[in-house]
Amino acid sequence: MSHRSGPVVATARGAVRGRRQDDGTAVFLNIPYAAPPLGAGRFAPPQPHEPWDGVREATAPGPDARQAERRLGGIDMVPYFGTGRRRGGDYLTVNVWTPAAARGGLPVMVFVHGGGFVAGSARAALYDGSAFARDGVVLVTLNYRLGIAGFLDLPGAPANRGLLDVVAALRWVRENIAAFGGAPDNVTLFGQSAGATVVGGVLATAAAEGLFRRVIMQSGSGLGAFTTGQAARVTSAAAEVLGVEPRVDAFAEIPDERLVEAASKLAGLDLRTAAHRDPLLGLSPFGLVMDVQPAEAVATGQGAGVDLLIGTNAEEALLYLVPVGEYATSTAEDVDDTAARSHPDPARLVETYRRTRPEASYGALRSAIMTDALFGAGSRALATAHCGHTGSSTFAYEFAWRSHALDGELGAAHAVELPFVFDLTHLPRLHGPDALLGPDEPPADLAARMHETWIRFAATGDPGWDPYDTERRATMRIDAEWSQVDDPRGEERQVWS
């Protein structure tokens, strides 16, 4: 099908032609924001893309960052991860959805996908930005380097290259988004899971100052970074698997396929040290590498002046237990092992959660501890660090609607909020006994309200409830009914302080 009649926009590197959608909005796909990361360039900072002549077609999805196929047991996560199978080197790209009759000055939202720092794609079904454009927002999604190329800490290479890609994409937005109708000075950076943790890292990065006004972190962590010492263990293991020296020049010679294969063999590394736990509990050996955690950097003033909306799902860790059959079979020993991986005083941790959840099964206790170790404690730490600054606001939420997928056990698990934020709960692949939203219809207006709330925050800095502070810790509990609560799960919060 020809899109020759589609809208054309001039960017700083060349013109792009998008396509009009049935609802009157327009979408532009696969626009490069940086040069293809090839060869040694995979381990270098992102570089400017070469300009192009004529009009570049921006009507079809582009390639994904190199990755292995990722599964989570019995749950269909293809809408979340994408297929990850579209090959090509020119994958540092953005997708832009915009009201076709853009009048200019519209709020801009830039989304960073999750996937454990090793998987995911901006072209996954859950990140279709049409509803945002329909409702007056310019929505941008982006790809960034993953796995070894994006996050392995290599001597001679800059750290956190995947994060540097996100900063480069934000610079592209600053330079080009006005041509798509967006306001360059009203940009909200948001992300989920690994994407949210990257967003927290960007908030704590001085080089990104001034590129965004607001931040939304969905199920990330402000305490989620590895130390350089922990990262060195991963680098050493990767070099051993590949049979090369742990240096950037040696890794630069290795083709992408072998890097992806090697990354898959690093699962299960024990990255605990005498002074530091593994913030990802062994779920991924890749992540941000920072000796100062984002929450600690924010506490010293980094990110002041940027509004923050931050939250988690009530039962995050069920996604890592239920689909692989580990929830129902959890034992007291599993609970103790999870606590030992999570906290310097595991006995106190388990005692606290048993007291606050007296009816909980071993699986429920294990999930609750994992939920806070991976996301809750680090999100609260960042909220607490941020709310101490004047000139910006901090807001907290907890998403509590329970999916009845997997025989009713999936619950308010990791990623379940995403279809509501993107107003995509109608997608057929999200419904069914093994799908993210389960067999039941979600509450009729939950997606519309949540989507509208995210847009309201992006446009105004106020989602519609009281700000978070260290006295009340006001948090909006999002379910079929919404209710603001003060210091939810306060006793459990205190054990992490």
Q: Average pLDDT for residues 322-350, to the nearest whole number?
A: 97
List for the chain the helix, strand, coil content (%; round to 5): 35, 15, 50
HEC string for 358-378: CCCCHHHHHHHHHHHHHHHHH
417 is catalytic: no
Q: Out of 316, 398, 409, 492, pick the active-site residue.
A: 316
User: Which residues have CB under 8 Å from 445's CB, separation 6+?
Assistant: none
Q: What is the pLDDT of residues 441-497, one digit of tens each?
A: 999 899 999 999 999 999 999 999 999 999 999 999 999 999 999 999 999 999 998
414 is catalytic: yes
Q: What is the pLDDT of residues 179-188, one digit of tens each?
A: 999 999 999 9
- Say which range, 32-46, 83-97, 249-263, has the weakest mean pLDDT: 83-97
- Per-residue model confidence (pLDDT) at position 5: 83
Q: What is the pLDDT of residues 224-240, one digit of tens each?
A: 999 999 999 999 999 99
Confidence of residue 2 (pLDDT cuts 50, 70, 90): very low
Is it the case that residue 57 has pLDDT exceeding 80?
yes
221 is catalytic: no
Q: Where are the alpha helices (DSSP H) in 265-417?
A: 294-299, 318-321, 332-342, 346-356, 362-371, 377-386, 405-408
Residue 365 half-sphere exposure, CB side, CA atoms within 13 Å? 26
Q: Out of 343, 386, 414, 431, pick the active-site residue.
A: 414
Residue ranges and CATH numbers for the domains of the chain are 8-240+264-496 (3.40.50.1820)
Model confidence, pTM: 0.97
Q: Out of 193, 219, 221, 330, pick the active-site residue.
A: 193
Q: What is the pLDDT of residues 241-257, one digit of tens each?
A: 999 999 999 999 999 99
